[in-house]
């Protein structure tokens, strides 16, 4: 449920970032902080901090950063922005669910 909400937030953020200069570092950080806060609110507790969790959020931050940074490079019309936002939102949904497993695999 939370993954769907965050994917929708990312898609809408991309659509509303169409005709303005995006600061990818700040916006990616804000979206990941929003993901952390929403995760805490849904679970009603703070997560147990570990290297796996921090690496997972780092992977998500890299994905969101690249998506926002590539928005101005790839998209030239509103139709291409909407298609790009849809594809990257679906990608973020799946990335959100598998990032913990990838982080756990990388740490060992």
Model pLDDT, residue 5: 92
| Number of domains making up the chain | 1
HSE, side-chain direction, 13 A CA sphere, residue 35: 26
Model pLDDT, residue 49: 84
| pLDDT of 18 strictly over 90 | no
What confidence tier does 7 reach under pLDDT thresholds 50, 70, 90? very high
Contact 90/46 with Cβ under 8 angstroms?
Answer: no
Model pLDDT, residue 44: 86
pTM for the complete prediction?
A: 0.91
Model pLDDT, residue 6: 93
pLDDT tens digits, residue range 50-96?
999 999 999 999 999 999 999 988 988 999 999 999 999 999 999 99
Domain that holds residue 89: 2-107
- Residues 6 or more apart in contact with residue 55 via CB below 8 angstroms: 103, 106, 107
């Amino acid at each position: 449920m939370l993954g769907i909400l965050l994917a929708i937030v990312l898609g809408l953020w991309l659509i509303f970032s169409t005709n303005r200069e995006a600061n990818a570092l700040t916006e990616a950080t804000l979206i990941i902080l929003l993901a952390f806060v929403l995760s805490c609110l849904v679970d009603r507790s703070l997560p147990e901090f570990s290297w796996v969790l921090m690496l997972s959020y780092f992977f998500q931050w890299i994905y969101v950063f690249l998506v926002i940074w590539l928005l101005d490079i790839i998209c030239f019309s509103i139709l291409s922005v909407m298609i790009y936002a849809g594809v990257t939102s679906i990608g973020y949904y799946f990335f959100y669910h598998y990032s913990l497993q990838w982080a756990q695999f990388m740490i060992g």
